[in-house]
Amino acid sequence: MRFHIITIFPEMFDSYLKESIIGRALKNKYISIKFYNPRDFIKAPKVNKNNYRPVDDRPYGGGPGMVMRAEPILKAIEKALANIRKSKKTKPKAKSRSELRSATGIILFSPSGKKFTTAYAKGAVKKYTDIILISGRYEGIDARVGKIIKNWKLEIENLSIGDYVLTGGELPAMVLIDCISRQIPGVLGKYESLEEERVSSSVVYTRPEVLKHKGKNYRVPKVLLSGNHKKIDEWKKKQKTG
């Protein structure tokens, strides 16, 4: 799976993507990640007082905050699409044009979008070879970006990672990359260790069997020490349903 991230803050991803399972998935080439900074697609070196090439402007109709302009984002998407096309050319397996098109998903983040779920992540692994993630900032992205992508007949989805408003789409992009990557066979040590594939519970215990804390003993539930896997699974299911 190749992730193409459109963001004005690529450095935010540095430490998260380097570590642990995702770091290993990158190293072992189960996934790859490319960044496209909309600021790099502004032609005139128009630097504002903060030394930034401004990608935002005031909203039509008034209101607080700024809106991300369409043009630099569209140029960044076009660059990602060109890279995807290039990489497909080197893969003889690729068949028709429409097949190539359908193997690319474009995701626009928005707090009011469709809720991202593990089921979505599983579907994405089956459907896509490339995902373009567009991280908004400020008050969001000029709505014409979504319209233009639809005109290109590309699959686009507005996704939310939860019912709360964040300052930007970088954390949502990391959430998606993490959740989708762990669905790729081989990324986790054993595919079977995917939580969704077995009876799992968020109520878990490890050594010691009896934890002594401030004069009290805290014991591991007996059933987990019983070796009776049927009973253990029943116990775990119960924890899940409360």
The secondary structure element, H or E, covering residue 70 is helix 70-89
Q: How far is the CB of 119 from ligand SAM (least distance, A)?
A: 17
111 in helix, strand or coil? strand
Between 139 and 157, CB nearer to ligand SAM: 139
Between 30 and 120, CB nearer to ligand SAM: 120
Q: How far is the CB of 219 from ligand SAM (least distance, A)?
A: 40
**DSSP-assigned beta bridge partners for residue 132:** 4, 106
Q: How far is the CB of 159 from ligand SAM (least distance, A)?
A: 6
Question: Is 136 marked as binding a ligand?
Answer: yes
Between 54 and 199, CB nearer to ligand SAM: 54
Q: How far is the CB of 146 from ligand SAM (least distance, A)?
A: 11
In angstroms, the CA 57 to CA 67 distance is: 5
Of all residues in the shown chain, the one whose CB is closest to ligand SAM is 136
In angstroms, the CA 185 to CA 30 distance is: 9
Between 60 and 164, CB nearer to ligand SAM: 164
Are 114 and 163 spatial neighbours (Cβ–Cβ below 8 Å)? no
Question: Is 56 marked as binding a ligand?
Answer: no
134 in helix, strand or coil? strand
Question: Is 165 marked as binding a ligand?
Answer: yes
Between 140 and 146, CB nearer to ligand SAM: 140
**Which residues have C-beta within 8 Å of that of residue 233, sequence separation ≥ 6?**
199
Task: Specify the amino acid at residue 119.
Answer: A
In angstroms, the CA 23 to CA 166 distance is: 25
Question: Is 166 marked as binding a ligand?
Answer: yes
Q: How far is the CB of 3 from ligand SAM (least distance, A)?
A: 16
Contact footprint for ligand SAM (CB under 6 A): 109-112, 135-137, 139-141, 160-162, 164-169, 172
Binding residues: 136, 161-166
Residue numbering of the annotated binding site for S-adenosyl-L-methionine: 136, 161-166
